[in-house]
Structure 1
Amino acid sequence: MEVGMLPVVVIGAGPQGLAAGAHLLERGLEPLILEQGDSAAASVAEWGHVRLFSPWSELTDPASRRLLEPTGWEAPASGYPTGAQWVEGYLAPLASALGSRVRYGARVVGVGRKGRDLSVDAGRAEQPFVVHVEHADGREQRIEAKAVIDASGTWATPSPAGADGLAALGERAAARAGKLVYRIPSIEDAASLAGRHVVVVGNGHSAATAIGLVARIAKREPGTRISWVLRRGAVGNTFGGGMADELPERGALGQRAKQAVESGLVDLVTGFRTERILCEEDRVVLAAEDGRKLAAADQVFVLTGFRPDLSFLSEVRLDLDVRLQAPSKVAVEVDPNLHSCGSVRATGAVDLAHPEPGFYIVGAKSYGRAPTFLALTGFEQVRSVVAAIAGDDAAANRVDLVLPDTGVCGGAGLFDSPDAMGVGGSCCAAPAPQLIQLGTAPVK
């Protein structure tokens, strides 16, 4: 088949993958969406109990709405949905509207150019992509495509507790024993830990969400002990931007965690870089590189972020930042080592392009290891990328989105500094004087 007549393969039937399908149909292009799970937005469903800090108005894509409206679907008007409500109210109906163009139980294990391995230049750009798929029933398949959009996300590859980016010694064994998990607890999970010692490892929104949830249990059950472990040597922007955050629920999330610390419900442990996790009967002990140990924990929640799975892209020519594993031009915008303040700009096809023409990484995976991704960002990426695939350069180069300001100071300069600025404040506005009393967990 002529390359121009082939489908555009989209990897992942999550929010951005499904939006890509809707945009491709509007452009007269045929999408083929390959989803490893057995339902639409399978990854979102796994954190369905978590409430998003983005409102409904920022969680639906324009082309997707246009595809859905003739079916009688109505966009939810207001509120902040949980992951499960997002799936039920929008993502599952969108997948249904796309119909057989979405294939489930289809795991992509490789992407390349037909007849050309990574090292071959001759005629490369003229060849179609070949996507290797393993189906849930054991079948293997090669699918030819005119372009490939990788919207597979990062949910399946959480970062470890180990401070050097590798699993700590004993971490895998603790995970197998169920004493260490890489997800935000549900209210039922938290309730079962009443009167026990809970450790949360991490510095981002997921960690703050977990802290707020478990702190509610500790408030009702005084015997519950919570340790919040930060690798960095200072609080820095752990509590977010508060009132300066242009997403109010995101700002409130950090402030609730801050209140839990100030009230004494949570012991904050800074500069703790986990080297080893020791199993002691039915509990685990986290040991740091500097020799400190936490008291034995009944449950550890490791919420240290996510990283992209690049294993099936070994035959695709990629231009990735060496630190974040994100497309180089995107990394310049989102690198926490560089940015000190405020929002990042929206990114489009030009930023997402690789040396392999016609291949794009979109969605959370496009941010690599950076933690600042919003659904709005992905919808704009998809709009621009599909326009580029369709040959509409003017639309591809247009920016239709300004992202909300986070209202926080950041940057790796705070990583080890005990005198860090911006403790939960904003560097984008005049800071108010603050005195924060932070508890420290006893160590042995």
Structure 2
Amino acid sequence: MSWEQQEYQQQGYPQQPYPQQQGYDYAYGGYQQPQYVQPPQYAQEPYPQQLYVDYGPQTAPLPVVDPEPEPEVAVVGEKPAEPAAEEKPLSKPAGRDRYFDTLRAVALIRVVTYHTFGWAWCGMVFPSMGIMFGLAGTLMAKSLERPALKVVRSRLRRLLPPFWFWGVFVVLAMLIHGWMPRHYTIVFWIVPFGDPPGNKWGVQAWEILWYLRTYLWFVLLSPLLLKVFRLARVPVLLLSLAPILVLNFVWAGPEGRLGNELWDFSTYLFCWILGFAHRDGVLERMKPAVVVVLSLAAIGYGGWYAFTHQGEVGTYDLDEIPLAQAFWSAGYVMLLMWAKAYFRIDFAWLTRYRRLDRVVTVFNARAVTIYLWHEIALILAVPLIDQFWNVPAFEKYLPLESQWFMFGIGWVLIAVFVLACGWVEDVAAKKKPRLLP
């Protein structure tokens, strides 16, 4: 679910890990640049060959008479020419990739929708978890251009304080309802390397922690995974589906927490590695026909497996069938990532709609808060609606029995939690606490 996007800056955030995107060219609006003739020695030199690094959408090349370099884009291995002293380049504000931001916001909305209505088809329409792991993998690959230890420490600092703050309330509520920790597993409420213990009363609140646990393991192993991936990018990407196949057909893994961790890690390993592939430009270099065929084949196999094995679990819900989830998410996320790289999609138009852009910004800046507290909001919505029955006007005019009404009340409570608890994410990021970003 996506706190790593706070690595970059918009409206007070730290510098964004994505490069400057098309549609954020604020610096040259209304300014007529002076033209001068480029010295012959530059005009005759061939332009250095661009290595295959994904810089996102690029603007049209500047004419020869304007040699002023783009400060955000650099060819790997090439040192950009220094601008003339009297002609310094204009600085450009960093922009966010609104395509990725929008995907993350929609993924969070889909998670809340699924947990409200329980529709099995939600995961097929929009596989939120696979998308969020893919986006996180892309950001992690970008961040690992810095020292690995510093990156991992930064990720833990951003993740753990919101988790601790949330956990205090959940653990306290379970203690009030008769739960008492009996062994060392209480440590998982401090660092969620495994599923933390709890009682049945609080299971609906803490069962969502599998995502944080899986994300934590991906973060810790990313320096090694990225090195292995760059030894042979395409083979490693394809082989990242092998672990889920082994667990499904060869060896089911150990029982208990370790087994759960292996299954979740293997289910979304391809999506995380796919984020590496997007960052390194692998998808952009692949032929469109190959990407489309492979993606549709993965989606087709995942869907076929889900529907032909629904008798084993009583549903075709992808969340209950890990192999189907792995292949469906793999094909779906690959198409989204490839479309981003190939068609240079950046959703820059979103900034023209200030309210919608604001909503997307809040969802991304409070992603951890929304994910952690949304189940508690849905839990509290039930007794709150029960009290509405005691008001005759509410009973007569409000659809109190409708799940859609509970869905709306749930979002109202989520908004309350964002205002009341979201500031913890600011503190974790070493920023000034705010009600809203």
* Fold in common (TM above 0.5): no
Q: In terms of Rg, which structure is larger?
A: 2
Could you say which structure has the greater relative contact order, defined with CA pairs below 8 angstroms and 6 or more residues apart?
2
More helix as a share of residues: 2
TM-score range, shorter chain: under 0.3
For normalisation by structure 1, the TM-score amounts to: 0.25
More strand as a share of residues: 1
